[in-house]
Structure 1
Amino acid sequence: MILSVWISGNNSHHTLFQNSILSTSILAIAFFLFVSISLYKGVGLRDNLGKIFTKENFNKRMKSTSDFTPDIDIPLMDAEGIGGIIISILAWIAFTVAALFAIYFVGVFFWSILLLLLAILYWIYFRALRLIFKNSKYCKDNLFKSLGFGIFYSGLYVSWIYGIIFLLKYI
């Protein structure tokens, strides 16, 4: 899609608005063709992934993560000379180890958030496509109905993108 917009505007300069409309139109046409052809052929969807997150699984993971948080009491020390240097080096090593653990847990947190967002997107797209393809039994081998449902669902799922583009342009 990006390549087609770039190729079509290779010899001329288009505004961001024009490129956005062109890209969205290409997506709309591709989605319309995908939906119409799939409905005409009678494609259906099955949920074979199952439940990704359950309440019990989430609670178990949260409890196991909270078990790793340590309770540390750091005594105050005043030291000068060689003792202060040794204590500083030991404190530097301790803070380095603590920073490594913090980076590890932040990484686990971000990976968890990324996986959660992917699961949410999967659910949204799967549910949206399942809503469309539940009409496959009515549209199989019927071109007129397939095109009608294709136009309806393409307009429904792409019109909000056009709305955002026009709102950003004129407001």
Structure 2
Amino acid sequence: TYPNLEEGASGADWLDVGDGIGGIILSVVFWLIATILIWVFLWFFGVVLWTVVLAFMAMLYWVFFRSMLMVFKHAPHCKNRLLPSAGYGLFYTIMYIGWVYFVIAGVHLILE
């Protein structure tokens, strides 16, 4: 069904260590190296994943709890006054949400 594919052709010919005791020993050594590399990759991935999760949780804490505390602190001053209320709302929206967009834009610029 695939005319351009030769039977038994693969790009992993460098892994062919041969038969016999030398091939067995080399296969075990390759297996140990591959296991160590996979373990290091998974460990690194776990560290990165936990860092991202903790940073996201810190952002959510800051946005939902700290910002609400500051907003409710100005509630008596803004009662029945639309303009100061909208001003405080806009200010705290920019201060507590805007920096997240700046961080995302900065990371995007660094990765380009």
Give TM class, smaller chain.
Answer: 0.5 to 0.7
> What one-letter code is carried by the residue in structure 2 that aligns with 1:108?
G
Q: 1:147 aligns with which of 80, 83, 86?
A: 86
2:18 counterpart of 1:95: no
Assess if the C-alpha contact under 8 Å between 2:71 and 2:92 holds in 1: yes
Q: Structure 1 pair 158/106, CA: closer, same or farther in 2 (3 Å)?
A: closer
C-alpha separation in 2, matches of 1:141 and 1:150: 14
CA deviations over 1:87-133 (Å, ceiling 9, x no partner): 10011111122222222211211111111111221233231343123
Q: Work out the CA distance in 2 between the residues paired with 1:158 and 1:121.
A: 9
Distance 1:89 1:124, change over 3 A: same
Distance 1:135 1:114, change over 3 A: same
1:139 partner letter: C
Paired amino acid for 1:141: N
Secondary structure, aligned partner of 1:141? coil
Distance 1:89 1:104, change over 3 A: same
Inter-CA distance 159–104: structure 2 relative to 1 (3 Å threshold)? closer
The normalised TM-score by structure 1 is 0.37
SS in 1 for 2:53: helix
Q: Which runs of 5+ in 1 are unaligned?
A: 1-80, 162-171
1:1-171 maps to which residues of 2 (within 5 A)? 82-126=20-64, 127-150=66-89, 152-153=91-92
The structural deviation recorded for 1:147 is 3.1
Report the number of matched residues: 81
CA 88–143 in structure 1, closer or farther in 2 if over 3 Å, else same: same
Higher relative contact order (CA 8 A, sep 6+): 1
Aligned to 2:80, the other structure's residue is in SS state: coil
Choose between structure 1 and 2: higher helix proportion.
2
Query: % of aligned pairs identical?
Result: 22
Cα RMSD (Å) of the superposition?
Answer: 3.2
Give, in whole Å, the separation in 2 of the partners of 1:140 and 1:82: 87
Which letter maps to 1:106? F
